[in-house]
């Protein structure tokens, strides 16, 4: 199988690479770019640990080929800080104890960011629906919802 040259804007910086057509975006992000905050959790697209923002929409990067992201913009958890300052969602997860082991947190934050971009003041039910594609095995979601509410109030 041959390779294809791609260019993707990741966290504001143009990234290029030679990839096989079958390479998943999650593997390009982690292995080629070294951005390991995007986690691989289930290999079945159920857990959401690999969630990134692709052209403004939350997507599970294990369901997208890297070549499909060519010419597009991707944001990962590493791109959430600005000048060393935590994004309100990151701050909210810290302040409201929205994480325990932290494995789901990057994907949960990226899904929450997409939610807040569409709805800046979501209800608890809307938050729960917005993060429903992300699994957390530790927290029971109560503090995750509080973290998103914290961020919504700050944003």
What's the pLDDT score for residue 2? 85
Strands (E) located in the chain: 3-10, 13-20, 51-54, 57-60, 73-75
Q: pTM (2 decimals)?
A: 0.95
38 near 61, Cβ under 8 Å? yes
3-79 fold: Ubiquitin-like (UB roll) (3.10.20)
Write the pLDDT tens digit of every residue in 68-100: 999 999 999 999 999 999 999 999 999 999 999
Residue 128 has pLDDT above 90, yes or no: yes
**Total Cβ atoms within 10 A of residue 58:** 23
Looking at domain 88-154, its CATH architecture is: Orthogonal Bundle (1.10)
| pLDDT beyond 90 at 140 | no
- Count Cβ atoms within 10 A of the Cβ of residue 109 and give its class: 0-12 exposed, 13-18 middle, 19 or more buried: buried
4: which 2 tokens? 């294809």
pLDDT at 43 over 90: no
- Domain extents for the chain? 3-79, 88-154
Alpha-carbon span 61 to 52, nearest angstrom = 6
What's residue 139's pLDDT?
85
């Amino acid at each position: 199988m041959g390779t294809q040259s791609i260019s993707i804007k990741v966290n504001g910086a143009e990234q290029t690479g030679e990839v096989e057509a079958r390479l998943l975006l999650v593997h390009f992000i982690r292995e080629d770019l070294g951005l390991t905050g995007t986690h691989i959790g289930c290999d079945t697209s159920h857990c959401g640990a690999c969630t990134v923002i692709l052209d403004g929409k939350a997507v599970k990067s294990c369901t997208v080929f890297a070549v499909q992201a060519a010419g597009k913009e991707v944001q990962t958890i590493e791109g959430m800080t600005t000048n060393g300052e935590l994004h309100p969602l990151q701050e909210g997860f810290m302040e409201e104890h929205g994480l325990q082991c932290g494995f789901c947190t990057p994907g949960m934050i990226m899904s929450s960011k997409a939610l807040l971009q569409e709805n800046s003041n979501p209800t608890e039910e809307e938050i729960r629906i917005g993060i429903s594609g992300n699994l957390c095995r530790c927290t029971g979601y109560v503090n995750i919802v509080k973290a998103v509410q914290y961020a919504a109030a700050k944003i």
